[in-house]
Amino acid sequence: MNFARYPWLRDLASPAAARAIEGYRAQLFGSGVATLPGFADAAALKGMLAEASAKSAAAYVTDDTHNAYLTAADASKPKGHLVNQFMRTRVASVAFDELSPGGDLVRLYEQQALAEVVRRITEQDRVFHSADPLGRCSINVFRSGWNHAWHFDESEFTTTLMLQTAEQGGAFQFTPWIRRDRESLAEEPLEKILAGAGGAEDLYDDLAFEPGTLSIFAGRYCLHRVTETAGDRERLVAVFTFASASPSGTGLREHAGDAEALLGPRIAGTLRGVGLGLGLGLGLGLGLGLGLGLGLGLGLG
């Protein structure tokens, strides 16, 4: 963590930390996202990027279609209904067990101070590091021509760290809070955005998301996408997964299919074979990362 830029991180019980966190909480619950630019210092970021670049070639590739709600099609509704409009997404992911245990990225993720910052900004009673052996900390990879189409996350919040922007494109675009809960369709703004109707661009913003920026995003409530990338430089985003309940029980096994879509079939086997329960469901938020039901996880980056 960049203590020079954020000295309050050294003492989270201090008045300075309370004031700073209140400001980021206001950002999150006001616009839908809180960002901490330069959260990773230059030396650590260099190490993270070196590891991500070295391992991105072997990342598991997802090339699939989905609707904005990440749900199945509904044959009882018209073909043009929002739940039946499917869009293509292409992204790859480097799983946690492929990362160096002593590397800069894993060491940052495992710091208790980071989990506490996330807990306080998102107003959770408790936050734990995920017990998921593959998805707890991962890297999303966007190669030239890839994108993540418009969607809402199953997770309530998603935490990511930008490692490298694309040479061209790869903008993270998002709406403010337009959804009350995961059952809400937010039909009026969504129809306008998906149709590219006049004035649709006024409904969403581009996130300033430079390397080293930590982002906490309300992905369940804010429609978002990553635009198509171009050029030789990959877009690389680390995704940090947390849980609001202690990692015991059987909470992840029922979501193994969702996890498989992003991290590959081996994670589905892992989750079906053991009970890792995070108290939050693992949800498919492929852009900032994969998300957790209440949670703080793999969503869009």
Could you read off the pLDDT of 115-173 as tens digits, one per residue? Answer: 999 999 999 999 999 888 888 999 999 999 999 999 999 889 999 999 999 999 999 99
Could you read off the pLDDT of 239-268 as tens digits, one per residue? Answer: 999 988 765 433 333 344 455 555 666 655
Would you say 200 and 189 are in contact if contact means Cβ atoms under 8 Å apart? no
Q: How many CA atoms lie within 13 A of 156 on its CB side?
A: 19
Average pLDDT of the residues in 52-62: 95
Could you read off the pLDDT of 184-221 as tens digits, one per residue? Answer: 999 999 999 999 888 899 999 999 889 999 999 999 99
* pLDDT computed for residue 87 by the predictor: 97
* pLDDT computed for residue 248 by the predictor: 46
Q: What distance in Å separates the CA atoms of residue 285 and residue 301, rounded to the nearest whole number? A: 9
pLDDT at 280 over 50: no
pLDDT at 90 over 60: yes
Q: What distance in Å separates the CA atoms of residue 112 and residue 127, rounded to the nearest whole number? A: 10
Average pLDDT of the residues in 215-236: 97
Q: Please report which confidence band the pLDDT of residue 283 belongs to, taking 50, 70 and 90 as the band edges.
A: very low
Tell me the sheet residues that pair with 239: 138, 160
Give the C-alpha distances (Å, rounded to integers) separating 89 from 42, 68, 178, 298. 31, 11, 22, 16
Residues 6+ apart with CB under 8 A from 265: none
Q: Please report which confidence band the pLDDT of residue 289 belongs to, taking 50, 70 and 90 as the band edges.
A: very low
Q: Considering only residues 224 and 278, tell me which one the structure prediction assigns the higher pLDDT.
A: 224
* pLDDT computed for residue 290 by the predictor: 36
Most confident of 42-51, 200-209, 258-267, 279-288: 42-51
Other residues' Cβ atoms within 10 Å of the Cβ of residue 189: 16
User: Whole-model pTM?
Assistant: 0.86
Q: Following DSSP, what letter does each residue of 184-218 receive, concatenated?
A: ---HHHHHHHHHT-TTGGGG-EE----TT-EEEE-
* pLDDT computed for residue 249 by the predictor: 35
* pLDDT computed for residue 88 by the predictor: 97
H-type alpha helices, 110-145:
112-122
Q: Considering only residues 44 and 267, tell me which one the structure prediction assigns the higher pLDDT.
A: 44
pLDDT at 287 over 60: no
Return the amino acid letter for 10.
R
Q: Considering only residues 14 and 289, tell me which one the structure prediction assigns the higher pLDDT.
A: 14
Could you read off the pLDDT of 5-39 as tens digits, one per residue? Answer: 999 999 999 999 999 999 999 999 999 999 999 99
* DSSP code, position 59: P
* pLDDT computed for residue 285 by the predictor: 37
pLDDT at 50 over 90: yes
Q: Following DSSP, what letter does each residue of 84-103 receive, concatenated?
A: G--EEEEEEEE-GGGS-TTS
**Can you list the domains of the chain with their CATH numbers?**
7-244 (2.60.120.620)
Per the prediction, the chain carries an average pLDDT of 85
